[in-house]
Chains A and B, each alone.
Chain A
Amino acid sequence: MPATDDPRRDDRQLVAAAQAGDRQALEALLSRHYDRVHAVCRRIAGSSRDADDAAQEAMIGIVRGLPRFDGRSQFSTWVYRIATNAALDELRRRRRRPALTAVDDAGGNTDIADPLAERTVEASVDRLSIDAALADLPEDFRVAVVLRDVGDLDYAEIAETLGVPVGTVKSRIARGRSQLAEALGNRAGGDERPTTTDPPDPR
């Protein structure tokens, strides 16, 4: 029976219980953080399938690393560090795999091998645009932006996670967001251009 997340117990309490062997506490911790971990992985890795794999890998990493977690940093910071590494590993693995993808008209990758692909494609053009725009960002910028905007980590936590100074984090986030805003603006502008598939209104 799946453990239910008890909101009265904070991460610290759940971690202590899980480290003492309480499986329900461990499952509650995993359940509490899974969605955010998945979101971080989704944005870093770029596809639902890779995010699923990376998130599962991160969950396993959390379980295996928990006995060594000493509580010096926030649990969430530690979790997102694991998730970030898992997502980057997945991304590198994917680059080594033969591509089973089709390129959409906008130049972005549509993950057709993904069971969720249909849903993803149908979800919205905006999502494809953001995926493509994020994919175009340098990895350092992308990770910093994702940890800030999806992981909700503050600058210091991101600096700790990435092992870089806070100033570097600020710079990466600023440049990353700026490039992202520009790319999204361009794509939005591009969407407004007439296409050959839609004949102009004769009126």
Chain B
Amino acid sequence: MTDDQLLLANAYVDDELDADERARAEADPEVMVQVARLRAAVAAVRDVEPPDPARRAAGIAAAMQSVGRPTPVAPPVPLRPRRAWWTGAGIAAAVVAIIIGGAVVLRATSGGDDDDSSSFQATADQTESAADARAATTAAAATTAAGGSATTAGGAATTKEAAGAQTDSEATAAAGGGTATTTIPRPAAPAATSGQALTQLASPDDLIAFAMEATPQTPPPGACTGGEYVAPASYTGVTPAVTVQVFVDGANAVARDAASCAEVARARLP
């Protein structure tokens, strides 16, 4: 069977031949044998068992439920607040001061043993005094820097507290999600994640309910992947309970460990 004969036989099966080609095919017994074999194969492929009626109804129902549910499009996630330039400069100055101070102290210590030259001692004393002065100055700078850091840390702590067990970035993203324009309003989530404790999911049924009813949020930076992100939650169906990110992955609701992205639970949506 040549390629030409094979293509001719297929075109014959698909009724894609004009009269001349058809006559040519019918005049070639080899082609007609192939036609018979191909027709048997086509019949076998077409003989598909019908879908289960319940699954059919569920599939259509699930699709109808998705009407009006927006395909998650990640709005711009606000960047974390930048530190003021002087905060970084203060930290750098403090680090430099510590290094210089340490070097001076080491040098002064080694110089202290060298008592055979008063001029060297005097120089060392002067250096030490200067170092003390610089240390005092940089200590003040370091204090300022530390204060700045403390303020930042305090801000982060406040954010964390507000977001419950969420991470800093999650809280930022959640806040971003809260302020971002939602294209189509949806029913309120069983439990909002911003400013409240995470919803506790004790079973796959809870997971299904949460996935179906929670308002989809913007995935936090570095979120797990695999489906459409819904929201974070706490899954207590395993010991110990883990903070999870809930996704709708095809026809399933999936809870993934927020830290490792390992799948914790999966349940088929109705």
Q: Which residues of A come within 8 Å of B, CB atoms?
A: 2, 23, 26-27, 30-31, 34-35, 38-39, 42-43, 48, 51-53, 55-57, 59-60, 62-64, 89-90, 93, 115-116, 119-120, 123, 126-127, 129-130, 133-134, 145-146, 148-150, 155, 170-171, 173-175, 177-178, 180-182, 184-185
Contact = CB atoms under 8 A, between A and B. Distances in A.
Nearest to A52: B55
Nearest to B42: A149
Give chain A's interface secondary structure class. Answer: helix
Contact of A39 (B13, B48, B58): B48
Interface stretch (B60-68, B110-118, B160-168): B60-68
A59 B57 CA distance: 11
B34 to A, nearest CB: 8
A136 to B, nearest CB: 13
24 contacts: A34-B59, A35-B56, A38-B50, A39-B48, A42-B49, A51-B51, A55-B59, A56-B59, A56-B250, A56-B251, A63-B63, A64-B71, A116-B52, A127-B49, A129-B44, A130-B47, A149-B46, A150-B46, A150-B48, A170-B10, A177-B10, A177-B41, A178-B34, A181-B37
Contacts of A150: 45-46, 48
Contacts of A119: 49
Interface residues of B, number: 39
A184 B41 contact: yes
A126 B22 CA distance: 31
B205 interface: no
Interface centre among A31, A130, A145 (most CB of B within 10 A): A130
A126 B43 CA distance: 11
A53 B59 CA distance: 8
B6 interface: yes
A169 to B, nearest CB: 11
B100 interface: no
A180 B62 contact: no
Contact of B48 (A2, A43, A89, A181): A43
A198 to B, nearest CB: 25
B16 interface: yes
Interface of B: 1, 6-7, 9-11, 13-14, 16, 34, 37-38, 40-42, 44-52, 55-60, 62-64, 66-67, 69, 71, 250-251
Contact of B45 (A27, A115, A134): A134
A116 to B, nearest CB: 6
Contacts of B48: 38-39, 42-43, 150
Given A34-B56, A42-B48, A130-B47, A148 B14 contact: yes
Contacts of A129: 44
Given A116-B52, A177-B38, A181-B41, A27 B64 contact: yes
Contacts of A42: 48-49, 51
B186 to A, nearest CB: 15
Contact of A53 (B11, B38, B250): B250
B60 A178 contact: no
Contact of A184 (B6, B40, B50): B40
Contacts of A123: 49
B45 A180 contact: yes
A23 B41 contact: no
The 5 A-B residue pairs whose C-beta atoms are closest, nearest first, are: A59-B63, A56-B59, A181-B37, A181-B41, A39-B48
Contacts of B6: 174-175, 178
Interface centre among B7, B40, B48, B64 (most CB of A within 10 A): B48
A184 B60 contact: no
A9 B226 CA distance: 38
Contacts of A185: 37
A177 B7 CA distance: 11
Given A177-B38, A184-B44, A48 B50 contact: no
